[in-house]
Amino acid sequence: MKQQQQQTHNKMGLILLIPLFYLLFSLSSAEIAPKPGVCYGQLGNNLPQPSTSIKLIKSLKAGRVKIYDTNPKILKQLKNTNIQVSVMVPNELITFIANNQTLSNNWVRSNILRFYPKTKIRYVLVGNEILSLPDNVTWTNLVPAMRRIRRSLTFFKLKKVKVGTPLAMDCLEVSFPPSSGKFRLSVTDSVIKPLLQFVNRTKSFFFIDVYPYFAWASDPVNIKLGYALLEPNVSGYTDPVTGLMYTNLLEQMLDAVYFAMKRAGYPDIRLFIAETGWPNGGDIDQIGASIYNAAVYNRNVIKFLTQKPLRGTPHKPFVALPSFVFSLYNENEKPGLGTERHFGLFYPNGSGIYPIDLSGKTLEYPKGLPVPTNNEPYKGKIWCVAVRGANTTALGGALSYACGQGNGTCGPIKQGGKCFKPDSLWWHASYAFSSYWAQLRESGATCYFDGLAVQTTKNPSFGSCKFPSVTL
């Protein structure tokens, strides 16, 4: 209501004010055009060559691309394309670079200088979601490594290249309501404040990976699907402290980060959405991961980010939000839950999973896409079995691993046990996978085993052999 009163208070004043705001932010944000880019991950054994991939990126009308390394084949293909490029220092080098300026200089010389400026490298990201890892030695070396890389870029006179690091939303201890946004106490003084100080001093960005999908999937009862998908005309949320009204989950999550930075003493640092997206598929026990929902989310998020004049968020209106949509391909070698392998805009064969245009010029709702069938949680039993035709050596190793975990995981498939027969590797591995998953799923175990396992609703039990299952 407060916002509505402000919006209707003085029409003439508003007419004069909006162009002024727009002009100011247009001038100050000239280098950060909001045109979304795409994340080009490479964790797949069936992905096209970089030359084909760059053609696909161009077909998306992407303004920028982010890679998770400094793959020379990709960087060469990006020469003279006018696509802004983000590259990454691998996690395992952070501690070494933090303590060695010569190593930092050599890394920049080998991975940036040799391609610049024909390849339009604009961002060097040091590590990926470091604070989501248990290695707190790397945590404390993160900002020192960023300082080293920055000095190296300055030494080579690469003034247009910014340094940052992408963090996940788990860097926050509190995110709801947005006005209560606060960083994790364990890293605020040791990592976050030095990071914000560095970003502020170098006029860089706070890079954040923001996935409304995971927030919604963790609480689909209280968070409405339309709110997470950025659908129009859905009931919003009003922050009880600020009175700011939120119309979608993305802007709510972004403002939580803004308020956390404000609480840490840095209210004016710019945000860069390092990753966002929605899975086009997943495991049976994963809600809402579908081609239709992915198409709707990405269509809406592109509209949100490219709106003119700039929309920003309720707390930071009119501010550009540069971004990357995750990801270019479905990557079949990504570990973890099934959704991890289903965020692509393209299948590995280069065909589009659904129509998408990152420029924001084509915003029609997707047509002819399969209606989602998993917007409600699956109810029933699920088993985890071995993939048919899997490599026998790898399957044997996975069987040994599963049997070495849990409590009596593989007792019934030992000789003389109820599930020993049929005496086949596939049968024994399937039992071991189901038993392992049923015991340890609540502790974070997945039905994946490096791609050797798959979920099924078909009961593999036979005779007196009863396979353990997960019941939802």
The residues annotated as belonging to the active site are: 129, 275
Q: Name the region of 416 (left: φ>0; alpha: ψ -120 to 50; beta: rest).
A: left
- Distance CA(391)–CA(209), nearest Å, equals 35
CA dist list (Å): 225 to 14, 71, 278, 286, 377: 34, 38, 12, 14, 12
CA within 13 Å, CB half, 412:
23
Q: Angle 381-214-469 (CA atoms, 0-180°, nearest 5)?
A: 15
Strands across the sheet with 470-471, in order? Answer: 453-456, 381-386, 470-471
CA 355 to the chain's CA centroid: 20
DSSP secondary structure, 232-301, as one string? TT---EE-TTT--EESSHHHHHHHHHHHHHHHTT-TTPEEEEEEE---S---TTSTT--HHHHHHHHHHH
Which residue type occupies 352?
G
Angle in degrees, CA 239, 240, 241, rounded to 5: 95
- Nearest-10 crossing angle of helices 249-263, 291-306: 50
Element (H, E) at 197: helix 193-202
269 near 32, Cβ under 8 Å? no
Query: Which of 25, 218, 407 lies closest to 17 in space, CA to CA?
Result: 25
Distance from C-alpha of 170 to C-alpha of 184, rounded to nearest angstrom: 8
Give one word for 38, left, alpha or beta, with left for phi > 0 and alpha for psi -120 to 50.
beta
Amino acid at 98: A
Amino acid at 285: D
Beta bridge partners of 386: 453
